[in-house]
Amino acid sequence: MFRFSIQTPYGKAFILLWLLNSDSLIAPLSATLSPTVRGDAVTSPSHRQCSERQSPTKAGSAVNVLYLPCSPSGSTHQDVVDTWEKDIGVHPLDMPQTTCQELLSVLTASTSCLPPSLHSMNSYQAES
């Protein structure tokens, strides 16, 4: 388990990233399914599009990630950001602003591939 504070060149937290484990497997659904309910998960056209990126017959490895986007003003989740900044177990990573934005965009797009019940956990966004 690793925790990173993705920061702008000015040292401002942009995303708090928590890599949980890398031993997960994901198996895609058939792209021909109509929107259906499976357990507590709803498969939607966007979910099928995410599944189409993978081979239809193979399970793939995945890393479980939780992330928390930080507001530019610093007011949203500031208590969590402050706690992470004081924790020596959190690794700060300075990146260009555009890279921070692209990473957040990739994480957000990947989260949209998950069933709605898995989109968040204790105010963190989930990504797999």
Give residue-wise pLDDT tens across range 23-35.
777 766 654 444 4
pLDDT at res. 47: 46
- pLDDT category of residue 123 using cuts at 50, 70 and 90: low
Q: Give the model confidence (pLDDT) of 43-95 as tens digits.
A: 444 444 565 555 556 777 777 888 999 877 666 778 888 898 999 999 999 99
Res 18 pLDDT > 50: yes
CA nearest neighbour of 104 among 9, 7, 2: 7
Residue type, 29: L
Res 120 pLDDT > 80: no
CA nearest neighbour of 66 among 77, 58, 74: 77
Strand partners, 69: 15
Which residue intervals of 5-96 are DSSP H helices?
Answer: 45-51, 78-86
For 100, the 3-state DSSP assignment is: helix
Q: Is the pTM of this model over 0.85?
A: no
H or E segment at 106? helix 97-111
